[in-house]
Amino acid sequence: MKHYILLLLAALCFPIALAAQELRIDKVLDGRYRKNVHTTDVIYTGEHLSGMPISYYHSLTVEDDEQIMEAVARAVAADEKYALEKEITRVGQHIFFCFFRINNYGMGSRYIVFKDMRYASSGKKQQQTLIYMESTKNPEDVRKMFKK
């Protein structure tokens, strides 16, 4: 009987452990770059998002800082393995653009949108943008935000 109770507890704890799973981008979005002159860190929640299909928005734009850009690009690449749905454009081994949908375990989905202009074919602009969002809406509704 004890074995069944332990198995039941383990089964109940597994989704909780997965929900607490930290993404690699969490480390670059933790505020460490907020006061850096080469970054713009924006967070929107609540009424700022009314009428939008998302409940949380966090973006980090980096310009002209190769060290931060490499940290962000590595974090995004590491989180690719968690994507249930993904759209990726690569230039060689580097991610130029991606849109990932990641399960948020009972609370909708998490989305990562990333664009690295260092690998754009037209001009070498030293800029990249990382956007993290949370939503309980349909993934297509979230995608429409970027097609306008």
Number of H-type helices and E-type strands within the chain: 4, 6
Query: 22-33 pLDDT, tens per residue?
Result: 899 999 999 999
**Residue 49 and residue 76: Cα distance in Å, rounded?**
24
Closest CA to 128 of 114, 138, 140: 114
Query: 87-99 pLDDT, tens per residue?
Result: 999 999 999 999 9
Q: What is the pTM of this model?
A: 0.83
Q: What is the mean pLDDT of the chain?
A: 86
The answer to whether residues 62 and 72 touch, using CB atoms and an 8 Å cutoff, is yes
pLDDT at 121 over 90: no
